[in-house]
C-alpha cells in the first residue's frame, strides 16, 4: 500500500512517516502544497494524508482540485483548524475523514486502516482469500490458520493483491504500489517475489495471467488453492 503524506511541520511529518512505515506502508512525504497537488494528480496512491495549512497552495484548494479532476483516492485530512465550520468545509471539499491536531498516532493509524479497508470494500481488518487469511492490522498472513513467516516486501504484495482480490492486478500497478516510482525495479523482480510466495503459501496461491497481471487465489472469485 502506497501513501502520500503531505505535512509541512517537519517533526509531525517524520513521526507520521515512521509510524506508517512501521505498519508496512510505502510512504512518500512532501511538505509543499503545489508539489502535493502534482503528485496526487499524476501518481497512484492508496491513500493521501493531507495537512491543510501548507506553503504555496492551501490543502483545501489542493483537495478540491483533485476532486474536480475526478481523482477518487481516499484522503485523510489533518488540521489544526478545529472549528466545526472548518471541518464541514474539509468534508465538503472531498475529505473522506478528518483528524484534528494534536492527535494520537494510534488514532491516525486506525483511521488510515479503516479508509484503505473501505476503499477496497472490506468491512473488517482481516481479508480471506482461498486458504489465506490476511490480517491488515497485525500485518500477518495465515494459511489454514497457520501463521506464515513473510518478509515485509512479501507481506506488502500479498496484502495488495488481497485488497484487490476481485480483479487481476497489472504488474506495472503492483510495482508502483510496492516500490513507489523507483524505476530500478522491473517485472522480473516482481516475478521473483511471486515465486518465493508460491513456495511459502502454495503453488496456486497467486495466479499469473500472462500479459495481464496477478491475482490472489480466492474461492469466491472462482479460483482456489
Ligand atoms: Ca501545516
pLDDT of 21-38, one tens digit each?
Answer: 999 899 999 999 999 999
Average pLDDT over residues 131-150: 92
Domains present along the chain, CATH in parentheses: 2-119 (3.40.50.2300), 126-216 (1.10.10.10)
Give the pLDDT band (50/70/90) at residue 15.
very high
Structural element, H or E, at residue 87: helix 84-92
Give the pLDDT band (50/70/90) at residue 222.
very low
- Considering the entire predicted model, what is its pTM? 0.81
Compute the distance from residue 55 Cα to the ligand 1 centre, in Å: 8
Compute the distance from residue 159 Cα to the ligand 1 centre, in Å: 31
Compute the distance from residue 133 Cα to the ligand 1 centre, in Å: 39
Separation of alpha carbons 187 and 179, rounded Å = 12
Q: What is the pLDDT of residue 82?
A: 65
∠ Cα 17 128 203 (to 5°): 95
Compute the distance from residue 48 Cα to the ligand 1 centre, in Å: 15
Average pLDDT over residues 161-184: 86
In contact, 160 and 203? CB cutoff 8 Å: no
∠ Cα 164 166 170 (to 5°): 60
Residue 224, pLDDT above cutoff 60: no
Compute the distance from residue 135 Cα to the ligand 1 centre, in Å: 33
Amino acid at each position: 500500500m502506497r501513501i502520500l503524506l503531505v505535512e509541512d511541520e517537519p517533526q509531525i511529518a517524520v513521526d507520521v512517516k515512521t509510524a506508517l512505515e512501521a505498519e508496512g506502508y510505502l510512504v512518500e512525504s512532501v511538505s509543499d502544497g503545489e508539489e502535493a497537488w502534482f503528485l496526487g494528480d499524476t501518481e497512484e496512491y492508496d491513500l493521501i494524508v493531507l495537512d491543510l495549512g501548507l506553503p504555496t497552495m492551501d490543502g483545501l484548494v489542493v483537495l478540491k482540485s483533485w476532486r474536480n479532476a475526478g481523482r477518487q483516492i481516499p484522503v485523510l485530512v489533518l488540521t489544526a483548524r478545529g472549528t466545526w465550520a472548518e471541518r464541514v468545509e474539509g468534508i465538503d471539499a472531498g475529505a473522506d475523514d478528518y483528524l484534528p491536531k494534536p492527535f494520537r498516532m494510534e488514532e491516525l493509524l486506525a483511521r488510515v486502516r479503516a479508509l484503505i479497508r473501505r476503499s477496497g470494500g472490506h468491512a473488517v481488518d482481516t481479508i480471506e482469500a482461498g486458504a489465506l487469511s490476511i490480517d491488515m492490522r497485525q500485518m500477518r498472513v495465515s494459511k489454514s490458520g497457520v501463521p506464515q513467516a513473510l518478509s515485509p516486501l512479501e507481506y506488502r504484495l500479498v496484502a495488495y493483491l488481497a485488497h484487490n482480490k476481485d480483479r487481476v492486478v497489472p504488474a506495472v500497478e503492483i510495482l508502483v504500489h510496492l516500490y513507489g516510482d523507483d524505476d530500478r525495479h522491473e517485472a522480473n523482480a516482481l516475478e521473483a517475489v511471486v515465486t518465493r510466495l508460491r513456495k511459502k503459501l502454495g503453488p496456486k496461491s497467486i495466479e499469473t495471467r500472462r500479459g495481464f497481471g496477478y491475482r490472489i487465489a480466492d474461492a469466491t472469485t472462482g479460483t482456489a488453492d
